Amino acid sequence: MIRAERQAKILHLIRERGYIKNEELASIFKVTQATIRRDLKALKEQSLVRLDHGGSYDLDFMASGSEPLYETKVHVNQDQKRMI
């Protein structure tokens, strides 16, 4: 899969879910996390996503004042939720 195609699919997944972890993207696309980070950096430079430690957010997800779907919120801060 070429980089542009992978980035388009990454953007689609982020917009669909609101948030996704880098390790999950690496697993889905069968590439290293370093490759995913480069792809996400390119998407961030185009102001399409917001990067967070270990994952990425859709800009609309962060800007909207509405409550995100439960399916989306489950993926946000999973490690911290497990610790609690």
Q: How does pLDDT run across 1-49, given as a tens digit for each residue?
A: 889 899 999 999 998 888 999 999 999 999 999 999 999 999 999 888 9
pTM of the predicted model over 0.75: no
Side-chain-side CA neighbours of residue 35 (13 Å): 16
19: part of which helix (H) or strand (E)?
A: strand 19-21
Would you tell me how many other CB atoms lie within 10 Å of the CB of residue 36? 24
More reliable by pLDDT, 39 or 60: 39
Q: Check residue 73 and give its pLDDT.
A: 63
* 8 A C-beta contact, residue 44 and residue 50: yes
Cβ neighbours of residue 44 under 8 Å, at least 6 residues apart?
50, 51, 56
